[in-house]
Amino acid sequence: MLTTPEELVSKAHVIIRATAVNYEKPPKEPNMWTTGIPDSIIKFEFEELIKGNKSIPIPLLINGYLSQYNDFNDHSPPYMFVRPGGRRGSCIANTYKQDAEFLLFLNDKFTPYWDALTPVNEQLYSPSSADQWLQW
């Protein structure tokens, strides 16, 4: 059974808006990407705390791949399902468009990889203030 948007908000320890900046650690094999959790680490720039009172690690480091391509969710908000990049393999979206903003639902270890097929790390439309997922 899929997690509802309300359950997602409730279960997340922290919800933030952040920008995927660059690699803290690039992939060992740049031409071979896994659908699981990558060895590469992306540095995110913190933009806004939406839920939680925990200190966010600065910089925020999340395993993933950088891309030059958008991967917006093709469903209507509030999202019930992961964006297209997470609909294969391990059922998590692990690729982030460089310099794009993301709405990150993080667990207590500050990772979004805790609920498969769930929109835990969705790319936001620009300007993010007009993004319907963020407004929801």
The CA distance from 94 to 97, in Å, is: 10
Q: How many CA atoms lie within 13 A of 44 on its CB side?
A: 29
pLDDT score, position 1: 80
- Is the pTM higher than 0.85? The answer reads yes
pLDDT score, position 76: 94
For every one of its 136 residues, what pLDDT tens digit does the chain have, with 9 covering 90 and above?
889 999 999 999 999 999 999 999 999 988 888 778 899 999 999 999 999 987 889 999 999 999 999 999 999 999 999 999 999 888 999 999 999 999 999 999 999 999 999 999 999 999 888 899 999 8
pLDDT score, position 26: 96
The CA distance from 55 to 72, in Å, is: 28
7 touches 119 (CB < 8 A)? no
Domains of the chain: 5-124 (2.40.50)
38 touches 94 (CB < 8 A)? yes
CA diameter of the chain: 39
57 touches 85 (CB < 8 A)? no
Structure tokens at 46: 């913190």
